[in-house]
Amino acid sequence: MNLSSLSFFRSHSKGNKQFAVIGLGRFGRAVCSTLHNLGYEVLGTDIDEKRVAQAMTDQIAAHAVQLDSTQPSALKEAGIFEFDTVIVAIGNYLQESIITTLNVKEAGVPHVTAKASSEIHGKLLQRVGADRVVYPENDAGCALARSLTKPAILDRFEVDPENSIVEVLVPEAFDGKTISEIQLRSRYGLNLLAVCANNKFEVNPGPNLRLWKGALMVLIGANKNINRLPL
Ligand code: ATP
């Protein structure tokens, strides 16, 4: 289960199958290839012809076009304004990133996700209309720090700054105990959403289900309570 994928449902319609990615740096290429491998139709664009050619050679997108995304006419000609979702993956060129985001929002693209490389960059992107701003370097740094300190937390979806849904390995202290014996709700203030073993999820497990070390639990609750788990 990849909890980060839950955030997708915040702002995207289910039937969306086409994406345009502007900027084919490391981040943009990763977005393209992942969407492409998931079976979505992706158009990749970059101002640099070599990066466009490389994207085609590496087959990370169905289509790739060279264009300057600061030019609304170039975006229009390439059909970018017809896309439901556009990802502005220009992290290191502040002006180009802001102008591109402004261009696609002004043209009425419903869902625009933009990459920010700093807090002020993110604020500017929001001001020009980005529907979602992501901070991949910051997020990767936070995730690394968490995994170093709490390796039993395999995945985390931040509901808001105080609350999360986490996927954790059942700790030694819970081994062989039933859900009611552990008293997750009364002792830890956490709700158990699912238990997983051998890649099979049991959603809303009953109180008599016995846990064992090595299985996975999906829990929702306050971060401060999650930190109290004996992981
Ligand atoms: P990194 O690759 O260092 O992880 P990144 O993925 O954020 O960072 P950037 O260095 O920001 O990538 O570059 C993103 C891409 O955006 C580059 O390939 C660059 O050529 C492209 N780009 C920059 N300006 C424009 C523009 N005006 N129109 C289209 N593409 C652009």
Q: How confident is the model at residue 161 (pLDDT cuts 50, 70, 90)?
A: confident
Per-residue model confidence (pLDDT) at position 4? 46
Tell me the average pLDDT across 37-52.
96
CB of 44 within 6 A of ligand 1: the answer is no
The beta strand positions in the chain, using DSSP E, are: 18-22, 41-46, 63-66, 85-88, 111-115, 132-134, 153-158, 163-169, 191-197, 200-203, 216-222
Task: Using DSSP bridges, classify how beta strands 153-158 and 163-169 pair: parallel, antiparallel or unpaired.
Answer: antiparallel
Exposed/middle/buried for 52, CB within 10 Å: 0-12, 13-18, 19+? Answer: buried
**How many other C-beta atoms can be found within 10 angstroms of the C-beta atom of residue 133?**
19
Per-residue model confidence (pLDDT) at position 16? 56
pLDDT of residue 1 exceeding 70, the answer is: no
- Give all domains of the chain, ordered by start, each with its CATH number: 3-135 (3.40.50.720), 150-226 (3.30.70.1450)
Q: Which residues contact 108 (CB under 8 A, 6 or more apart)?
A: 81
Going by alpha carbons, the residue nearest to atom 24 of ligand 1 is 96
How high does pLDDT run on average in the chain?
91
Per-residue model confidence (pLDDT) at position 17? 80
CB of 89 within 6 A of ligand 1: the answer is yes
pLDDT cut 90: percent of the chain above it: 76
**Ligand 1 pocket check: which of 46, 68, 101 to mutate, most ligand atoms within 8 Å of Cβ?**
46
pTM of the model: 0.78
CA of 164 to the centre of ligand 1 (A): 32
Task: Using DSSP bridges, classify how beta strands 85-88 and 41-46 pair: parallel, antiparallel or unpaired.
Answer: unpaired
- Looking from the CA of residue 96, the nearest atom of ligand 1 is 27
Longest distance between any two alpha carbons in the chain, whole Å = 64
pLDDT, tens digit (0-9, with 9 covering 90-100), for 6-17: 444 344 444 558
Query: 198 or 59: which carries more pLDDT confidence?
Result: 59
CB of 41 within 6 A of ligand 1: the answer is no
